[in-house]
Structure 1
Amino acid sequence: MSTKRLISIIVALFIGVILLSAVFTSWYTVDESEQAIVITFGKASDPITESGLKFKIPWPIQKVEKLSKETFSLQFGYKQAPDGEITSFDKDTKMITGDDSIVLTDLVVQWKITNPRAYLFNSENPLEMLHDATSASIRSVIGNSKIDDALTSGKAQIEADTTDLLASLIEKYNIGITVLTVKLQDVELPNDEVRSAFMAVTDAEETKNTKVNQAEKYENQKMSEAIGEKDAIISNAEGIKTSRIEQAKGDVALFDKLFAGYQYNKEITRERLIMETLDVVLPNAQIYIMNDESGTMKYLPLQTLESKKQTNPPTGTNTDTKTEEGSGQ
């Protein structure tokens, strides 16, 4: 076989391989969980998000980069191996709070690729930029928080503030990533001695809050009792006031009636008032009417007449009885 013929065969085989390779590399598949970018001489096209079999010009004219549409997790401050073993990075998680205390903060960032073109071309290492932005965000938020908030009830607010700050930083960097959530995994003190002291302080705070709540409950109870007692006293006083006013009105009416009788017959009214007063002052005494000019005693049973008058009140005419001094009955 001549050299010329051998060269022709080699060239034909080479062209055949190229053509065969072009046929196989012209077709690609996009899965439902993927998004693709077709790069033509270094220029990226719009993202392809619809799944299925796609066609492109063979390499080196066009090539395809596939990126996932799923949500990713960035573990900050620790790393969990497939077998479940956790490795901590205290250097990354050690932070200073706003009241100059040191805490160790681990967290997880949920993120996804929303702009494949920016993710591929705007940053050499977008994951590293995400990690650095996460570190800056959580340190800024922890630096403006008190240690009590970081370790107890303020975690939710710290998560929300970190999410907002990190999302704004990633948006400025424009690396094609969207931050979904930030979840604090663990916030703790750097050693057992400090942790024990803080727990003692926390227990004391809880005890104080319990005592304060009990004192407020006791105060409210006593205030309610005092208000009820005050209202009862005021109500009783109002009743006494009303009773005194009505009694005074009755006394005035009685006095007016007596005064009218006194004006009609002063002597009889005066003597009747004296008798009634004696009956009130000396209710069990026997009253006698005597004549000072003779030794003969004239007896008038006033108590008997009064009791008969009360048991058998007159129903007809009024009877007036006059007794003259010195005359017989």
Structure 2
Amino acid sequence: MAWNEPGKDDKKDQDPWNKNDKKNEQGPPDLDVVFQKISGFLGSLFGKKSTQGPTGGSGNANGGKFVAIAILTIIVLVWFASGWYTVKESDRGVVLRLGAYHSQVEPGLHWNPKFVDQIIPINVEAFRTLPTSGFMLTEDENIVQVSMEIQYRIVSPEKYLFSVTNPDNSLLQALDSSLRFVIGHSTMDDALTTGREVVRQETWEMLDKIIAPYDLGVQILDVNLQQTRPPEQVKDAFDDAIAAQEDEERFVREAEAYEREKEPIARGQVKRIEQQARSYEEGIVLQAQGAVAKFNQLLPEYQANPEVTRQRLYIESMEKVLSNSSKVLIDNKAGGNLTFLPLDKLMSNPANGASRLPIQTEIETRSRADEQADLDEKAATSVRDSRSTRTTGRD
């Protein structure tokens, strides 16, 4: 019989590969077999032997329970270990329990039930920036290009997450509205030149008022007006105007610096002149007081001997006057021992008392001695006359 001829007694010979035999087809393994294999593997690990009977029913039941407990224990351990997390120093953790806000955790190591709580870390120490720019219409119906940037940080993480849908976008919209409102109530010159600080302050105040009802949980730290420019068509003219204004301010500062430099010098000169005037006044007053005191001292002497005092005052006055004169005076009453007088040397140094010749010194000494003798004689005569007058009056 050929290999492909059908047999009479055996129908299996119809297909040499036995494709028509449904009993030999391999299907997926049963779950009992899988659990049995896992329990056998775990039992070998823990040192337990299989207790299967002839039919295997009791062994399969005990093995299934042990596998279930082991798997549940592993799942619990993994779930517990996965619940530990760390919050950074600069962050605050927002806890969501079953999707709703529950609490807020501080930095450090924490544990939360996995699949029950969700932790959202929020950085509360970082400074965040938010810029805006655009073309805006001023009060005098001109267009300017303005760029502004704000700095803020999160102070309340739960409000930042749940007060509005998108807090950054809400803050940006509020900033843009505030800036456009302030620019719309300012002139173009103020926005470009002197009013930049006013625009910055008013925008900051307006922004705080707008975001207050929304309770975004953020704090505005600074508002920087970065750039204000006119349109490109008139940019050159405005640049010239700004340059002229800067020159004006520079000249004013230079004038103020010159004033601060010269004013102390002028005040010092005024003080010096005042002190000199006071010194001169005090000197004149003291000089007059000295003259009065001198006169008061001479008055009794003059009253006692008028003629002698008069002659002495005359001689002292002439001595002071003639000491600065270039004339030479010779007393004819003096002795005739003067044979030669060097007038040329006397005329060359008339005011230098140290360069006088010995002959001139001798002449002056004799003249003064004679004058003093005459004065003494007149004084004695006056005393005698006064005494005789007093005696006569007594008689």
Determine if the TM-score, normalized by the shorter chain, exceeds 0.5. Answer: yes
Where in structure 2 are the equivalents of 1:116-195 lying within 5 Å?
A: 116-135=157-176, 166=207, 170-179=211-220, 181-184=221-224, 186-190=226-230, 191-195=235-239
Kindly tell me: are residues 148 and 205 of structure 1, through their superposed partners in 2, closer, same or farther at Cα, counting changes over 3 Å? farther
Q: CA RMSD in A?
A: 5.1
Pick aligned residue for 1:47 from 98, 101, 104: 104
Q: Is residue 307 of structure 2 the alignment partner of residue 307 of structure 1?
A: no
Give per-residue Cα distances to partners, 1:138-175, cap 9 Å, x unaligned.
567776899679858985x9767766765565455312
Q: Report how far residue 234 of structure 1 moved.
A: 2.1
Give, as a single letter, the amino acid of the residue that structure 1 aligns with 2:310.
Answer: L
Give per-residue Cα distances to partners, 1:275-314, cap 9 Å, x unaligned.
96489579758699xxxxxxxxxxxxxx9865226899xx
Give per-residue Cα distances to partners, 1:19-53, cap 9 Å, x unaligned.
x8xx7797474542544333345531111334446
Where in structure 2 are the equivalents of 1:75-154 lying within 5 Å?
A: 75-77=130-132, 89-91=133-135, 94=136, 104-135=145-176
Structure-2 residue corresponding to 1:66: 120
Give, as a single letter, the amino acid of the residue that structure 2 aligns with 1:69.
Answer: N
Structure-2 residue corresponding to 1:211: 255
Kindly tell me: are residues 66 and 243 of structure 1, through their superposed partners in 2, closer, same or farther at Cα, counting changes over 3 Å? same
Give per-residue Cα distances to partners, 1:89-122, cap 9 Å, x unaligned.
323xx4759x999765434333333323222221
Would the aligned equivalents of 2:96 and 2:102 in 1 still touch at CA under 8 Å?
Answer: yes
- Find the aligned partners of 2:290 and 2:316 in 1 and give their Cα distance: 25
Q: Is residue 329 of structure 2 the alignment partner of residue 273 of structure 1?
A: no
Q: Report how far residue 204 of structure 1 moved.
A: 1.8
- Find the aligned partners of 2:142 and 2:372 in 1 and give their Cα distance: 98
Kindly tell me: are residues 309 and 170 of structure 1, through their superposed partners in 2, closer, same or farther at Cα, counting changes over 3 Å? farther
Q: Report how far residue 124 of structure 1 moved.
A: 2.0
- Find the aligned partners of 1:285 and 1:100 in 2 and give their Cα distance: 107
**Structure 1: which 5+ residue stretches go unaligned?**
1-5, 10-15, 78-88, 263-268, 289-302, 313-317, 323-329
Kindly tell me: are residues 153 and 237 of structure 1, through their superposed partners in 2, closer, same or farther at Cα, counting changes over 3 Å? farther
Q: Report how far residue 192 of structure 1 moved.
A: 3.9
Kindly tell me: are residues 160 and 55 of structure 1, through their superposed partners in 2, closer, same or farther at Cα, counting changes over 3 Å? same
Structure-2 residue corresponding to 1:325: none
- Find the aligned partners of 2:158 and 2:117 in 1 and give their Cα distance: 14
Structure-2 residue corresponding to 1:223: 267
- Find the aligned partners of 2:161 and 2:365 in 1 and give their Cα distance: 127
Kindly tell me: are residues 256 and 101 of structure 1, through their superposed partners in 2, closer, same or farther at Cα, counting changes over 3 Å? farther
Number of equivalenced pairs: 263
Kindly tell me: are residues 275 and 126 of structure 1, through their superposed partners in 2, closer, same or farther at Cα, counting changes over 3 Å? closer
Give, as a single letter, the amino acid of the residue that structure 2 aligns with 1:38.
Answer: V
Residue 119 of structure 1 aligns to a residue whose secondary structure is helix
- Find the aligned partners of 2:143 and 2:251 in 1 and give their Cα distance: 25
Higher relative contact order (CA closer than 8 Å, sequence separation 6+): 1
Structure-1 residue corresponding to 2:6: none
**Structure with the higher fraction of residues in helix conformation:** 2
Give, as a single letter, the amino acid of the residue that structure 1 aligns with 2:120.
Answer: K
**Structure 2: which 5+ residue stretches go unaligned?**
1-27, 32-70, 323-328, 334-363, 383-395
Residue 56 of structure 1 aligns to a residue whose secondary structure is coil
- Find the aligned partners of 2:199 and 2:130 in 1 and give their Cα distance: 17
Q: Report how far residue 203 of structure 1 moved.
A: 1.5
Kindly tell me: are residues 202 and 260 of structure 1, through their superposed partners in 2, closer, same or farther at Cα, counting changes over 3 Å? same
Q: Report how far residue 228 of structure 1 moved.
A: 0.9
- Find the aligned partners of 1:187 and 1:30 in 2 and give their Cα distance: 43
Give, as a single letter, the amino acid of the residue that structure 2 aligns with 1:76.
Answer: P
After TM superposition, the score normalised by the length of structure 2 is 0.50
Give per-residue Cα distances to partners, 1:220-272, cap 9 Å, x unaligned.
3233213312321221121012101111221132123201334xxxxxx38x7
- Find the aligned partners of 2:261 and 2:182 in 1 and give their Cα distance: 37
- Find the aligned partners of 1:149 and 1:285 in 2 and give their Cα distance: 98
Structure-2 residue corresponding to 1:256: 300
Kindly tell me: are residues 169 and 55 of structure 1, through their superposed partners in 2, closer, same or farther at Cα, counting changes over 3 Å? same
Residue 173 of structure 1 aligns to a residue whose secondary structure is coil
Would the aligned equivalents of 1:102 and 1:189 in 2 still touch at CA under 8 Å?
Answer: no
